[in-house]
């Protein structure tokens, strides 16, 4: 299972939000590229970057920061936030992203999604499906669609999506554990790959996720727990690989 250290950018800084609330941010670094280099140097093979300003505005707002991150690391990065038209996707890919993460537009604009999948290929596209109370949230988690998350994933799979990112908003940033029942429900609704996000706070959470998750759950995004030193990137990767830990900051369940 792949570890995706998260870098959320708001106002040009690396932050984390509590349950998607823009009014409840914690700033962890004023230079996102420095964080990216730290995670990459520790062994991360992928980074998950979110332009939070872009998610709220509906178009990319931190392209310079994305370019700086891409230039600072040799690992691959995926980028989301405000990608609601083809030009925005192209801009992010030109800034150095290996693949893009689209959310709101994938559900609201079938023609855009079809154009994106045809033009870039399914392997360069991740569709982010975020849910609150089991229903899909849109526009940077500020709107509810009223659509059941499993139904949305099943429909998007039929339309050609090969990879999803699933975030239950209630656990995002809490470090109190992933919402495994909801993850299982989403994973069972598709044969596509699923990346889990939200709630990881200990190595125990990662080991449990790797143990019980469906076979198509290919990775997990971790943010706050890494920033706060609950465990290291190598420890997290070992936990996801099922290796026996030798102790350390993240050992407690």
Domain of residue 199, CATH code: 3.20.20.70
Residue 214: per-residue pLDDT: 95
pLDDT band for position 247 (cuts 50, 70, 90): very low
Six-digit token pair at 61? 């707002």
**Rounded average pLDDT over 129-146:** 75
Torsion over CA: 40, 44, 45, 46 (sign): negative
Could you tell me how many residues make up the chain? 253
pLDDT band for position 213 (cuts 50, 70, 90): very high
Residue 209 predicted with pLDDT over 50: yes
- Render pLDDT for 7-23 as a digit per residue (tens, 0 to 9): 999 988 887 665 555 55
CB 234 within 8 A of CB 203: no
Q: Which residues are catalytic?
A: 8, 130
Task: Write a three-state SS string for 164-178.
Answer: EEEEEHHHCCCCCCC
- Render pLDDT for 71-91 as a digit per residue (tens, 0 to 9): 999 999 999 998 999 999 999
**Rounded average pLDDT over 102-119:** 91
207 assigned to some structural domain: yes
Q: Measured between alpha carbons, how far is 189 from 152 in angstroms, rounded to an integer?
A: 9
- Render pLDDT for 172-196 as a digit per residue (tens, 0 to 9): 878 999 999 999 999 999 999 999 9
Residue 248: per-residue pLDDT: 44
Residue 105 predicted with pLDDT over 50: yes
Q: Measured between alpha carbons, how far is 157 from 192 in angstroms, rounded to an integer?
A: 7
DSSP string, 85-152: SHHHHHHHHHTT-SEEEE-HHHHH-HHHHHHHHHHH-GGGEEEEEEEETTEEEETTTTEEEEEEHHHH
Q: 188 is in which domain, residue-wise?
A: 2-240
Q: What percent of the chain has pLDDT over 90?
A: 70
149 assigned to some structural domain: yes
Q: Report how far apart the first and last C-alpha atoms of the chain are (Å, whole number).
A: 19
Q: How many domains does the chain have?
A: 1
Six-digit token pair at 83? 């990608």
Mean pLDDT of the chain: 89
242 burial via Cβ count (<10 Å: 0-12, 13-18, 19+): exposed
249 assigned to some structural domain: no
Residue 172: per-residue pLDDT: 83
Q: Measured between alpha carbons, how far is 214 from 195 in angstroms, rounded to an integer?
A: 11
Six-digit token pair at 219? 């990775």
Residue 141 predicted with pLDDT over 60: no
Instruction: Determine how β-strand 125-132 pairs with β-strand 163-168.
Output: parallel
113 assigned to some structural domain: yes
Residue 249 predicted with pLDDT over 80: no
253 assigned to some structural domain: no
CB 35 within 8 A of CB 68: no
Residue for token pair 């799979």: 157
248 assigned to some structural domain: no
21 assigned to some structural domain: yes
Gyration radius of the chain over CA positions = 17
Q: Measured between alpha carbons, how far is 201 from 173 in angstroms, rounded to an integer?
A: 9
143 assigned to some structural domain: yes
Q: Considering only 132-136, 183-187, 200-204, which range has the smallest mean pLDDT? A: 132-136
Residue 70: per-residue pLDDT: 97
**Overall pTM > 0.75:** yes
Residue 19: per-residue pLDDT: 53
Residue 253 predicted with pLDDT over 70: no
Q: Which residues, at least 6 apart from 204, have a Cβ–Cβ distance to it below 8 Å? A: 252, 253
Q: Measured between alpha carbons, how far is 87 from 91 in angstroms, rounded to an integer?
A: 6
Residue 56 predicted with pLDDT over 90: no
């Amino acid at each position: 299972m792949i570890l995706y250290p998260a870098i959320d950018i708001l106002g040009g800084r690396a932050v984390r939000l509590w349950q998607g609330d823009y009014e409840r941010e914690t700033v962890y670094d004023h230079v996102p590229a420095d964080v990216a280099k730290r995670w990459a140097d520790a062994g991360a093979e992928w980074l998950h970057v979110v332009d939070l300003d872009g998610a709220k505005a509906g178009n990319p707002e931190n392209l310079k920061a994305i370019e700086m991150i891409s230039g600072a690391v040799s690992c691959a990065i995926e980028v989301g936030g405000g990608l609601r038209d083809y030009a925005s996707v192209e801009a992010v890919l030109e800034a150095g992203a290996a693949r893009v993460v689209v959310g709101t537009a994938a559900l609201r604009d079938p023609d855009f999604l079809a154009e994106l999948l045809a033009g870039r290929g399914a392997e360069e596209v991740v569709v982010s499906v975020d849910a609150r109370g089991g229903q899909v949230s849109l526009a940077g988690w500020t709107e509810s669609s009223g659509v059941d998350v499993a139904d949305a994933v099943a429909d998007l799979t039929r339309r050609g999506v090969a990879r999803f990112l699933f975030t239950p908003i209630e656990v995002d940033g809490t470090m109190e554990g992933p919402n495994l029942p909801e993850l299982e429900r989403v994973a069972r609704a598709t044969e596509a790959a699923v990346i889990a996000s939200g709630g990881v706070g200990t190595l125990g959470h990662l080991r449990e996720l790797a143990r019980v998750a469906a076979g198509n759950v290919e990775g997990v995004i971790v943010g706050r727990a890494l920033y706060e030193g609950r465990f290291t990137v190598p420890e997290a990767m070992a936990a996801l690989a099922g290796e026996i830990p030798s102790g350390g900051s993240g050992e407690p369940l």
